[in-house]
Amino acid sequence: MITLEGIVERIIFRNEENGYTVAKINSTDGDLVIVGSATILKTNLKYKFTGDFTYHNKYGEQFAFIEMEEIMPEGEAAIINYLSSSMIPHVGEKMAERIVNKFKDETLDVIEKNPERLLSVEGIGKKKYKDIKEALDRQYAMRKIFLYFSKYNLPAAIILKIYKEYGDESIEIVMRNPYDLIGRVRGIGFKKADEIAESIGVKKDSDFRKIAGLKYALMLANRDGHTYLPLDKLIRASENILGLKFENTDEIAKTLTLEKNFFVERDGENYNCYIARYLAAENYVAGKLKDLNISFEEEIDIDKKIIETERFREIELSKTQRKAVKEAINRGVFVITGGPGTGKTTTLKVLIDIFESMGKVIKLAAPTGRAAKRMKEQTGRDAFTIHKLLEIGFAGDIGFSNIEELECDVLILDEVSMVDIILMETLLKSIESPTRLILVGDKDQLPSVGAGNVLSDILKSGIIESVNLEEIFRQSEKSMIVKNAHLINKGEMPILNEGDFFMISERGEMKGLEIIKDLVKTRLPNYFNVSEADIQVLTPTKKGSHGTINLNKVLQDHLNNNEEFIEILGKKFKVGDRVLQTKNNYELESRVENEFYQDRQKGVFNGDLGYISKIDKENKKVTVIFDDVRSVEYNSENLDELAPAYAMTIHKSQGSEFPVVVIPLYRAAPMLLTRNLIYTAITRASKAVVLVGMSEYLVKMIENNRTVKRYSNLAEKLRRQNEIIGK
């Protein structure tokens, strides 16, 4: 074994999943490339590496290390570099210089043993000192935790998340039950938790491990959109995860019923296995929709009201639209569905006009900020996200908290296909009969990202009255986007290279990337007189040359020349970057400030789109503007919740609308090449669609009308509720 020391100049590659790192260091032997597992390696810091030289056929000589440790810097220049390298918050290069000028070679001793002496440094007041001291205390605790978990090859970002979840008790809690990490710490699945469990002596066939495998299988099912799994499906999924066979299935059902947060529901001769939270939501939604689904007998002439509104708006409703308006006024719960150009917005405008003439208080809502913004623009009335409308917080396993009753006579919810069972339960808890609930959506779009099949199940039940708008209106007939969406929905090929719908055929994936780069930066802005921000690349997949991971890297390099950036946890963020929130965070505060008013609210949600407006390198903070008005400040602890959004998956684009959409058509998993995926993608565009790639993949998507079955029982429970009423 050889030991050498060096300063890390550049991290060439880092796999955030397993910590494998390739870096360039400056050592006494000159510049070297090192390779190995390094969870906490940082640039500009000095380390001691233990390992051996190896030779790579392609990359030449490398030093493969198996152990590393940080060496405290010596000399004022080195200490300044160390302090300003993101090790201590609120300390940038200028502040580091002031600290070192004050304490010289004693600096590191002062910081570790007498940090209160920092108060004597110009620019460090009581508040900044308090923040620094708290961060230092965390670092001392974290250092122990980092060293402990590093032996499991966990990346630094994951260890940081463990510490955020469990604090100073991280080691004790994880060693007691490593499987507790699953679902609590993003980035740790069953495999990694299982490695830790094996290291502390948990046997492969232990009941403890089997239960963990069953729970994990059901958790994965929820992530895939299922509210439950039949017992036989759950057992098969668990056996694949565990690598063993279950003998007594009845015993498993009994065991699961005794487990906290689990529930096994008898369905004839079968068992349906739920995480209890989803069963409670499904039952509540079915019962509440039944309670709300009453008939109204308003003392008004609805036909006369419709005629008056048509005259006022200078429109003429179709027969189906007229039926939708009348039924929505007469029913407690009503569903309006339809594809693009079929008049959903016009129908809503007429409904709103009539309800307002009746003196009704109306609230408008949608699942995402962008969908709510679009609803407001289309109707001319205020519309809110469900979370903002209800002003709700989050209370961990029990779901949402502080849900108060909405004071309204009519609640109209748009983009219902995006609403999962938990969010629908939350919304329904806020309204009581005789409030009318009008649900609006496109039944042919992708289902919600979260668990449940709410819109589809409501329609399938046949219990809630609905109208599907099918006629394409004259003003929409000019749009090839609308025409082609309906052709695709019927299983027919779209009309290409006409009007606002184009396809550029290119079989080479690398050439396809170059075409997309040129389209987004030059050709489309010039042709359609739009900005780069108006153009969104939507792709079926995350992986591959045309997946979001690679596309975002390529497009960031091509579109954003801003030299102001910050690199944290292996991600580079630049001022001007388009970014996407990737998980619900109910604690992040957003601010709206202008000359007329100020508004503060908590919560930034999965799918929110924004752009980076400011980077504070001194304090390692990034400011993001969402929906063009909401300002949110991120720090190094929650920046991992942001992802670049020059390219998005089609699923993530639900509820959004973009002037121009570019869609690459290349290799992807067969389950992603489906009709409703391409239909959803093209219906996100308002001005133009450009397909780039191979026409055979477009044909495959249109021909593939198979949808992955979602296990959800809302439709059946609605029918049962109706049977109870009938009796």
Parallel, antiparallel, or unpaired for β 630-635 and 621-626? antiparallel
Known binding residues: 341-345
Query: Which tokens hold the place of 396?
Result: 């961990």
Q: What does the pLDDT average to over 651-676? A: 91
- Whether residue 469 has pLDDT greater than 70: yes
- Whether residue 398 has pLDDT greater than 50: no
Q: What does the pLDDT average to over 672-689? A: 94
pLDDT in tens, 82-136: 677 655 666 777 888 888 888 887 887 887 788 888 888 888 888 888 877 777 7
Q: Map out the domains of the chain with their CATH numbers.
A: 2-142 (1.10.150.20), 156-200 (no CATH), 207-284 (1.10.10), 293-469 (3.40.50.300), 492-703 (3.40.50.300)
Which residues pair with residue 384 across a beta bridge?
A: 365
Please choose, from the candidates 577, 692, 709, the residue with its C-alpha nearest in 3D space to the C-alpha of residue 634. 577
DSSP 282-293: HHHHHHHHHHH-
pLDDT in tens, 285-297: 999 999 999 998 8
- Whether residue 396 has pLDDT greater than 50: no
d(CA 712, CA 715): 8
The segment with the largest mean pLDDT, out of 48-52, 296-300, 342-346, 561-565, is 342-346
Q: Is 513 left (phi over 0), alpha (psi -120 to 50) or beta?
A: alpha
SS (H, E, C) 308-374: HHHHHHCCCCCHHHHHHHHHHHHECEEEEEECCCCCHHHHHHHHHHHHHHCCCCEEEEECCHHHHHH
Known binding residues for ATP: 341-345
Phi, psi of 460 (to 5 degrees): -65, -30
Q: What secondary structure letter does DSSP report for 422? A: H
pLDDT in tens, 258-311: 888 889 988 888 889 999 999 999 999 999 999 999 998 877 899 999 999 999
d(CA 666, CA 547): 9
Which residues pair with residue 601 across a beta bridge?
A: 590
Residue 407 CB burial class (10 angstroms; 0-12, 13-18, ≥19): exposed
Find the range with the poorest average confidence among 259-268, 302-311, 344-353, 505-514.
Answer: 259-268
H and E: helices and strands count for the chain: 26, 30
Contact of 293 with 463, CB cutoff 8 Å: yes
Q: Where are the alpha helices (DSSP H) in 45-167?
A: 76-82, 93-103, 107-113, 126-150, 156-166
Sheet of strand 384-385: strand arrangement: 384-385, 362-366, 410-413, 436-441, 333-338, 466-469
Helix (H, G, I), strand (E, B) or coil at 601: strand
pLDDT in tens, 135-192: 777 666 666 777 677 777 776 667 777 887 888 888 888 888 899 898 888 778 899 8
Q: Is 643 left (phi over 0), alpha (psi -120 to 50) or beta?
A: beta
Contact of 226 with 451, CB cutoff 8 Å: yes
- Which has more pLDDT, 624 or 617? 624
pLDDT at 394: 47
Parallel, antiparallel, or unpaired for β 501-505 and 685-693? parallel
pLDDT at 397: 46
Please compute Rg for the chain using Cα positions. 29
d(CA 330, CA 324): 10
Phi, psi of 403 (to 5 degrees): -85, 115
Query: Which tokens hold the place of 280?
Result: 């409670």
- Give the residue carrying structure tokens 């009453």: 294
